[in-house]
Structure 1
Amino acid sequence: MIFDQISGVLNEKLVADYAIKQSSMLKEHFHAESFKLIIGGDCSILIGTALALKQHGNYALFFLDGHTDYVDTKISQTKAVAGMDLAIVTGWGVDGLTNIYGLKPYFEESNVYCVGNTELDEDYIAPILDSDIRYIDLIQLRNSGIQRIAEEFLEHVDKENVDGFFIHVDVDVLADCHMPAVDSRAESGLTYDELRHLLKVLLSHEKSVGMELTIFDPDFDEKGTIAKEFIHQIKDFFE
């Protein structure tokens, strides 16, 4: 690992280089009509995806994660890009990651929904509450209803006439009883039924261009049983 003393970010240059290579590969594919499924990797892969989409047009983002990932180095304990990715793709953070090719921001904050956060510390959520991002934590998601939140996002997509939208899914948005193979475990989270319901609504929309799955750690799933169950639970969307 390389810690940049000036930016205060771990592996800044390496992540930026990877994002450029990833975006170069992806941007041509986003011209095709087929749906794109990207499998990570940690959440920093969102930067390469966002950069590719920005070169293709104006896109919205449905960010489904057990954390907001909308912090800077002053708040981040790890200083890792994977915990700051939403901030970076909306233009907040070190210029070497937020403004590649001078395209900052890759997503407009007003076109982003951040959904499912379970880390409710006041200092942690303060930045996103002060942003233009539509923020819905797990409690609010359940109180408002999964169907309603998904439909609200799709209504925004239609109203703003964006070119499409992308779905980011960090599997730590699932409850620990379903998904313990992650780097930041939390007892609360979505059930598989709730995840399927949410994705079913979103993926049915014609402007859904792709989805990424991040943070699954095989080191915590030596027998592969957790991965097999996850695939079983969501495979119907991709058959």
Structure 2
Amino acid sequence: MRRKFSVVGVPMDLGQMRRGVDMGPSAMRYADAVKRLENIGYEVEDLGDIPVDQINDELNGQPTLRNLKAITKAASSLADCVDSIIKKGRFPLVLGGDHSIAIGTLAGVAKHFQNLGVIWYDAHGDLNTDETTPSGNIHGMPLAASLGFGHPELIDVGGFHPKVKPENVVIIGARDLDQAERDLIKKHSIKVYTMHEIDRLGMTKVMEETIAYLKETSDGVHLSLDLDGLDPHDAPGVGTPVLGGISYRESHLAMEMLAESGLITSAEFVEVNPILDEKNKTAEVAVALMGSLFGEKLL
């Protein structure tokens, strides 16, 4: 893993309807994300936040794509920023913001890899499109858009599509999938470890298989970690909590194994909502997981 990090925040809450997740980057900074990385031994620069237009409930003539224009504008800015970070030989760490920001992150990262792998650590598949969405919320669409499915303005962020191939994606922690998402997963043979597999196999086996799979298929791996992938008991400050999630300790184990693998070439932590949180607990969990992902050791 590169020893030089660039941190960028995306104060975005336009991809969903619960206010507060735009304060996620500030919450993670307050929980000492930068200092945590510096203490591990990395050189860290904080680039501040990507500008985000502050509007809400704007349909822009697209009844199933809430805030489309503002989200694609921010995603394009983020893509340019991430692209620039990687060109400088630095590791991009993106702090969200709702999960719609992944459209921009992946657009910036994918320019640098032929077969970018993606670990989608999330309770949800985020595989809806404007034709299948039950809510119109774009934070339920970023993985679909990155695969090239959905509205042209979403899939073309960065000027190309797709950013990632279905065979290079692994979803971990899924437990709330819409029917259209299930259909897309089956049609394109996307690798998914639901909570059933995690319970049955154990997190060690899930991560061993994930790492082995992506080593074979990918020349770089992006981690997109949604805090609602964890159980709400451990990460209460999220907009769409789902009971029965991955535990705090299982998540640390997953991050530690990814650190040992050396696979991760970019990462983002999203959906921290301080308004819904308990004394910044979820942001502190996110930063603790960053520590494990980037090689922090107890002994």
**Shorter-chain TM-score above 0.5:** yes
1:125 to 182, 203, 210: 182
**Deviation for aligned residue 1:163:** 2.6
Q: Give the gaps of 5 or more residues in structure 2.
A: 1-56
**Deviation for aligned residue 1:34:** 4.4
Q: Which residue of 1 aligns with 2:16?
A: none
Q: How does 1:78-97 map to 2 (within 5 A)?
A: 78-97=135-154
Q: How does 1:1-239 map to 2 (within 5 A)?
A: 1-6=57-62, 8-58=64-114, 59-120=116-177, 122=179, 124-160=181-217, 162-221=218-277, 223-232=279-288, 234-238=290-294, 239=296
Instruction: Tell me if structure 1 keeps the 8 A contact 2:100–2:138.
Output: yes
One-letter identity of the residue aligned with 1:209: T
1:76 & 1:121 partners in 2: Cα distance? Answer: 9
One-letter identity of the residue aligned with 1:115: I
**Deviation for aligned residue 1:81:** 1.0
One-letter identity of the residue aligned with 1:86: L
Shifted more, 210-219 versus 66-75: the winner is 66-75
One-letter identity of the residue aligned with 2:146: V
Cα displacement string for residues 175-222 of structure 1 (whole angstroms, at most 9, x for unaligned residues): 111111111122210111110111111222233112111101011126
**Deviation for aligned residue 1:229:** 4.7
Instruction: Tell me if structure 1 keeps the 8 A contact 2:204–2:254.
Output: yes
Normalising to structure 2: TM-score of the pair?
0.73
One-letter identity of the residue aligned with 2:220: G
Shifted more, 66-75 versus 188-197: the winner is 66-75
Q: Give the aligned CA root-mean-square deviation in angstroms.
A: 2.2
Shifted more, 84-93 versus 50-59: the winner is 50-59
1:9 & 1:120 partners in 2: Cα distance? Answer: 19
Normalising to structure 1: TM-score of the pair?
0.89
User: 1:24 and 1:123, CA in 2 relative to 1: closer, same or farther beyond 3 A?
Assistant: closer
Instruction: Tell me if structure 1 keeps the 8 A contact 2:126–2:141.
Output: yes
Cα displacement string for residues 29-58 of structure 1 (whole angstroms, at most 9, x for unaligned residues): 123554432110000111111111122222
User: 1:145 and 1:221, CA in 2 relative to 1: closer, same or farther beyond 3 A?
Assistant: closer
Instruction: Tell me if structure 2 keeps the 8 A contact 1:30–1:209.
Output: no
User: 1:196 and 1:54, CA in 2 relative to 1: closer, same or farther beyond 3 A?
Assistant: same
One-letter identity of the residue aligned with 1:214: V
Shifted more, 39-48 versus 3-12: the winner is 3-12
Q: Which residue of 1 aligns with 2:29?
A: none
Instruction: Tell me if structure 2 keeps the 8 A contact 1:171–1:215.
Output: yes
